[in-house]
Amino acid sequence: MNHDRASTLLITHTDRDGLLSGAALLRGLSAAPAPEVLITQGSYLAAELEDLAGAHHRFEKIYVTDTYWHPPQAERVVGGLQAILAPGGTIAWIDHHPSSVEHEAGMRAQLSLSSESSIIGDRAGKTEAVSLVTEVFGLAQDPVGSSLLKAVANGWTRSGGVMPAEVAAWMDVVDGLSRCPDLPAAHAADIVRGLARGFETPVPAHLEPLAELTRKVRSRTSVLAGQAWLRLPTVEGGYGVFLDLHDETEVNTYELAIGLYRASGGYIDYFITQENPAGVHYVSGTSARRERDALESGGGLPPLRVSTMHKGRNGKGASWRTRHGIDLAYLTRRQPASEFLGPWIDAHPYLVKAPWKRPGEPQAPDRLDQVAELIGIGMRDMLTTFGWCDADRCRRVWRPVVEG
């Protein structure tokens, strides 16, 4: 980074939406000098900013996208942003996470967010940051911007179509980042820069290992999709599924869940997932990686996750509940399995998670089925109160995806 003159900083998240919204934002800034790109997690943003401040970096413009506001570190984040913002500089925050929506007023007041900021949540129909970035920068008609939006929404394959080979190649790279927690920060930034030029841009050789890893994970995920999984209670004809993956190091949890959901014809109301403790999040900076390793490499089980594929769907005759989907925030208020799990976190309307109270205890995996059953009872009770019934499920037959 340049120490002598102010420039632009782009901060984004590590998942599909984060990398593609970062690319869209980079596309929107195409007339400006090339920004620095920082890829991280909201919970480690403070450490990233403190590293930049310690190295005396200053930026005239800072853009943050698909990065949730992390209240426990709010003071550090505000201080870090102010420390790296040049006099007269601006900060724009573009995000859809519930925590950002909930704390928007405070964010705007403390950071004096610019007019380019857009904080609109999932519950208002904005389930991807890419769509917000596309609106802010007027990229709906831009071929690259529109293809990025289509890719993050699975626009090609959602109805059994074919994802173009060049898009699939880049998406394999994108999905591989989470499997490479110590990838050099410059290489991770190259993913965003390459996507901003369009999917037709060849994947650089130094990013190919990420794609290879994704293909290996996809193969194992396909095997797991054929296994029988513990079914859990719900309402009227459906069921929940417990995905015990604590011994699995090579599985795409989302792809496994969406495959099982589609195979069920939409009868699976929710998934409870326990992932492998070996996995840690990708972050860019030295301090952020130090904090991450201290928090995530302790040998205990990572937070238990509850998710749903019923995310709201419009259509002729759709009920109010069908249109809104299953909002899992109502589960977090019930605090199920509280003797085993800590406070629940509302990560998204359709994804919540809770940490283990005693994650390092070796007998924790022995309790997984028991805890899943307790959460299942909570889900059943919640959905009963909600009035969820068979007519509300998005039941359909998905055509198989044709490999291209």
- The verdict on domain 7-212 having CATH code 1.10.287 is no
- Give the separation between CA 32 and CA 326, rounded to whole angstroms: 42
What are φ and ψ of residue 242, in 5° steps? -100, 120
Residue 371: partners with Cβ closer than 8 Å, 6 or more residues away: 304, 337, 340, 341
What are the residue ranges spanned by the domains of the chain? 7-212, 226-392
pLDDT score, position 123: 82
Q: pLDDT per residue over 174-223, tens digit each? A: 999 999 999 999 999 999 999 999 999 999 999 999 999 999 999 999 99
**Considering the entire predicted model, what is its pTM?**
0.90
**pLDDT value, residue 363:** 63
Q: Given this model, what pLDDT does residue 31 score?
A: 62
pLDDT recorded at residue 5: 46
pLDDT at 124: 83
- Sheet containing 36-39: which strands, arranged edge to edge? 36-39, 7-12, 59-65, 85-95, 118-119
Quick one: tokens of 215?
Answer: 């293909």
Query: Strands 7-12 and 59-65, how do they pair?
Result: parallel
The closest alpha carbon to 348, from 305, 392, 302, 393, belongs to 305
pLDDT at 281: 94
In the predicted model, residues of the chain with pLDDT beneath 50 are 1-6, 397-404
Helix (H/G/I), strand (E/B), else coil: 5: coil
Structure tokens given for 56: 């005396």
The DSSP bridge pattern shows strands 230-232 and 118-119 to be: unpaired
pLDDT value for 396: 60
